[in-house]
Structures are given as structure tokens and as C-alpha cells.
Amino acid sequence: MDNVIVPDTGAYKCFTLMSSKKSDALYGDQGLCHLKVRAPWYPVHKSNVSIGSGVYTLRCDAEGYPQGNITWTDGHGKKLTDQAKLTASITSERLIHIDSQLNVTITSSSSYTCTVMDDRGVSQAATFVFPGMMENMIVT
């Protein structure tokens, strides 16, 4: 099958026809197959907005299919996902669009990473870097 899209996911019957060289008779067989369409989760778009007094709203969004998971970590690997807001919607192409926002207070230099991972463990990430800790930070 070529040019499949997400709504094409489902069960299909496959038919084969064979002819015998000794006669003009056609012989057929059939089977059932399940098609699962995927759309990779990339790229992750990022943006941030300063809302004053060192507080920033960090935002990551991405589209893909099937459902992906988004996680937030700081530059030390501490998980911050529970502090983030997540919304999900379906696009006109029937992809899943996820949007996550994390409010952080920057009191010293730091970095924050949002990672989107699909159901097979493939991930894409975006990192927000706030200056001053560059000498101690490894950026991936």
C-alpha cells in the first residue's frame, strides 16, 4: 500500500489469484492483515515567555501518532513532569498534537529539557538553556 494516512489504520482482507500453467483456471487465497499507521513525533517546537521576576513559561509542542508521552527534566536530571500542564488535541490529519507548559523560576543558571517519546521508545527533545552554567553543563 502506498500513501497511507492515519485513518487507514485497521483490518484488511488480502486476496491472491494464481493461474495454473496447465489450464486457464484461477485459484485464489485470502488472509486478514492489520495495518497500523504511525507518524513520527518530530520535530519538537519550543518557546518561552518571561512573565516577570525571573519566572518563565516554557512550552513544547509536537505532533505524531499514536499517542506519545512528554517528560520534563532540569539540567540535573530531576523530573519535573508533574509540575507541567499538558493538553492534547486531534489535528485535521488525525495526528495527535500535544502541548506542554512548565513554569519555572530562574534564580541561577539552569537548563530544562522536554522530551517526547513514542510507544516504541523513540524520542525527540528540545532544551531551554539559561546562561551562566555553561561551564558545568553538557548539552545533548
**Per-residue pLDDT of the chain in tens (140 residues, 90 and over written 9):** 788 888 888 898 887 777 666 666 666 777 888 888 888 887 899 998 888 888 999 999 999 998 889 999 999 999 999 999 999 999 988 899 999 999 998 877 789 999 999 988 889 999 999 875 444 434 44
pTM of structure: 0.73
**Using CA atoms, how far apart are residues 83 and 76, in angstroms rounded to an integer?**
16
Enter the C-alpha cell of residue 18: 494464481
- Which amino acid is present at 86? L
Q: CB 137: neighbour CB atoms within 10 A? A: 14
Enter the C-alpha cell of residue 106: 530562574
